Chain A
Amino acid sequence: MKPIVVLGSGLAGYSVIRELRKLDRDIPVTLVTRDSGDFYSKPMLSNAYAQGKDAAGLVLTRAAEMAAQLGITLLAETEVHAIDRTNKKLATSAGELAYDRLVIALGADPIRIPVQGDAADAVMSVNDIADYAQLRKSVQGVGHITIMGGGLIGCEFANDWATTGYKVSVIDPGPYPLASLMPEQAGKQLLAPLAAIGVDWHFGTSVSRVDRRENGYTLTLADGTQLQTGLVISAVGLRPRIALAQAAGLEVNRGIKVDAYLRSSDPAIFALGDCAEIDGKVQPFVLPIMHAARALAKTLSGCETPVVFPAMPVVVKTPAHPVAVLPVARDAVGNWQLRANSDGVKMAFLDAEQCMTGFVLTGRYAAERNEMSKQLGHPLPAVAESPLPGAKE
Chain B
Amino acid sequence: MKVWQCVVCGFIYDETQGLPEEGIKPGTKWADIPENWACPDCGVAKADFEMIEV
B27 located at the interface, meaning its Cβ lies under 8 Å from any Cβ of chain A in the complex = no
Q: Is B43 an interface residue (CB 8 A)?
A: yes
> Which of A41, A287, A290, A367 sits near B21, CB closer than 8 Å?
A367
Which residues from B are CB-within-8-Å of A48?
Answer: 10
Task: Tell whether B42 is near chain A: CB-to-CB under 8 Å.
Answer: yes
Cα(A60)–Cα(B41), bound, Å: 17
Answer whether residue A191 sits at the interface, using C-beta atoms and an 8 A cutoff. Answer: no
B8 in contact with A41 (CB, 8 Å): yes
Highest count of chain B CB atoms <10 Å: which of A39, A41, A312, A315: A41
Chain B interface SS verdict (over half): loop
The residue from A291, A315, A368 contacting B41, defined by CB atoms under 8 A apart? A315
B21 — which chain A residues lie within 8 A by C-beta? 367-368
Contact indicator A286/B22 (Cβ below 8 Å): no
- Does A11 count as interface, using CB distance less than 8 angstroms? yes
Count of chain B residues with a beta carbon within 8 Å of a chain A beta carbon: 15
Q: Are A290 and B42 in contact (CB under 8 A)?
A: yes
Q: Compute the total of residue contacts between A and B using a CB distance below 8 Å.
A: 40
Instruction: Say yes or no: A290 contacts B40, CB within 8 Å.
Output: no
Main SS of chain A's interface residues? Answer: helix
Interfacial chain A residues near B8, Cβ < 8 Å: 11, 15, 41, 286, 290
**What is the interface size of chain A, counting residues whose CB is below 8 A from a CB of the partner?**
21
Chain B residue, CB-CB nearest to A317: B41
Q: Are A370 and B40 in contact (CB under 8 A)?
A: yes
Segment 26-53 of A: residues with Cβ below 8 Å from B? 39, 41, 43-44, 47-48
Q: How far is the CA of A47 from the CA of B8 in the complex (A)?
A: 14
A18 to B42, CA, bound (A): 16
* A60-B50, A367-B21, A370-B22 known; A286 vs B10 contact (CB < 8 Å): no
How distant is A171 from chain B, measured CB to nearest CB, in Å? 27
Contact (Cβ within 8 A) A41 B10: yes
A window 276-335: CB within 8 A of B: 286-287, 290-291, 312, 315
B50, chain A: closest CB distance, angstroms: 7
Instruction: Determine whether B33 belongs to the interface, using a CB cutoff of 8 Å to chain A.
Output: no
Q: Are B43 and A291 in contact (CB under 8 A)?
A: yes
List 17 interface pairs A-B (beta carbons < 8 Å), by A numbering: A11-B8, A15-B8, A41-B7, A41-B10, A43-B10, A43-B41, A44-B10, A61-B7, A286-B8, A286-B9, A287-B43, A290-B8, A290-B42, A312-B43, A367-B21, A369-B40, A370-B22
B residues with a Cβ closer than 8 A to A are 5-10, 21-22, 40-44, 48, 50
Supplied contacts A41-B6, A290-B44, A312-B43, 4 more A-B pairs, CB within 8 Å? A11-B8, A41-B8, A43-B42, A44-B10
List the 9 closest A-B pairs by CB distance, nearest first: A367-B21, A286-B42, A44-B10, A41-B10, A43-B9, A287-B43, A60-B7, A290-B43, A286-B9
